[in-house]
Chain A
Amino acid sequence: MQIGFFGSIGDRLGRDIVHRPPPQTATVADLRRSLAAAFPQEEAVLTGSRLKAVIGDSVVGDDASVAGIDRVEFFPPVSGG
């Protein structure tokens, strides 16, 4: 699965990475936990409510399904221009 990170966390983890979550990963919440396991230094950010998950250019909640999804993006709070 492709993961896109923006802003500050993109600087720290890379803007586009490939992550292979375990097969039982069903929701965004599961994906966050899988990412937190891969990047334990970022666990608080990855599982926190300030980091929004985006699928198909829409912000989604933690209960959103990731079944069949090949790219999920994560937005820290936007700065505005």
Chain B
Amino acid sequence: MNSESSLADHAFDVIGEQAAFLTASAGAGAIATFTGIARATALDGVAVDALHLDNHPRMTLASLEAIAAAARTRFEIGRLRIVHRCGRVAAGEAIVFVAAAAAHRRAALEAVDYMMDRLKTDAVFWKREDGAGGSNWIEPTAADREARARWGADHGRN
């Protein structure tokens, strides 16, 4: 099994993930990684203490696996890794880690870009921003949807 997706309900070790992926990808010519960090401000500038990522006990992980599988059919890639937080994520903590290994850089970079665009719109999460001013459930932004649309609708929503 080259593709592996995980949900993490607590802070995870990004450097450890990178190191493990590098070690397991011996022979690859290119490795691309992306780490997303929970921001301390909402799009409207309101302070955010934490995100709460509500998730489904099976369908959330299945949606991550489906996105990884779609990337595999689309790009010439070897190993993949998606780690996504669920539950409470404090501002400043890593919320997502994505990695792809390939023979050449373009496939690795594009696979990570693709998986992030899909994760931002299609992953089965419900995201709430919690701050001193209250809580706010949020949906993908127009920019997120445009980024998702760049890749076409060939793999559908999950």
Cα–Cα distance between A7 and B124 once the two chains are bound (Å): 10
Complex CA gap A53/B121 in Å reads 19
**Which one, B10-18, B69-77, B137-145, is touching chain A?**
B137-145
A57 neighbours in B (Cβ, 8 Å):
58-59, 62
Contact of A79 with B59 in the complex, beta carbons under 8 Å: no
**Closest residue of B by beta carbon distance from A58:** B59
The answer for the CA separation of A75 and B59 in the assembled complex, in Å, is 11
**Is there an interface contact between B125 and A81, defined as CB atoms closer than 8 Å?**
yes
Whether A8 sits at the interface, judged by CB under 8 Å, is yes
* A76 interfacial by beta-carbon distance below 8 Å: yes
A10 at the interface (CB under 8 A from B): yes
Q: A57-B58, A57-B59 are contacts. A79–B138 as well, Cβ < 8 Å? A: yes
Find out whether the CB atom of A80 lies under 8 angstroms from the CB atom of B120.
yes
- Asked if B119 is at the interface of the complex by the 8 Å CB criterion, the answer is yes
Chain B residues near A61 (CB, 8 Å)?
A: none
CA separation between A6 and B122, bound complex, in Å? 16
Contact: A6 with B53, CB < 8 Å? no
Residues of B within 8 A of A10 (CB): 54, 126
Size category of the binding interface on chain A: 10 to 19
The chain A residue with its CB closest to the CB of B158 is A78
Q: Decide yes or no: A78 and B124 within 8 Å by CB, A6-B56, A57-B62 being known contacts.
A: yes
Name the B residues within 8 Å of A73 (CB-CB): 56
Residues B126 and A78 in contact, CB atoms below 8 Å apart: yes
- Say yes or no: B125 contacts A80, CB within 8 Å: yes
Given known pairs A7-B54, A7-B126, the reply for A81 and B137 (CB within 8 Å) is no
Report whether A80 and B127 are in contact in the complex, using a CB–CB cutoff of 8 Å.
Answer: yes
Complex interface: chain B residues within 8 A of A76 (CB): 126, 137
CA distance A81 to B59 in the complex (A): 14
A contact set with B: CB distance below 8 Å: 6-8, 10-11, 54, 57, 73, 75-81
Extra inter-chain contacts (19) besides given A76-B126, A78-B122, CB under 8 Å: A7-B54, A7-B126, A7-B128, A8-B126, A10-B54, A11-B137, A75-B56, A78-B125, A78-B126, A79-B127, A79-B137, A79-B138, A79-B140, A80-B120, A80-B122, A80-B123, A81-B84, A81-B96, A81-B125
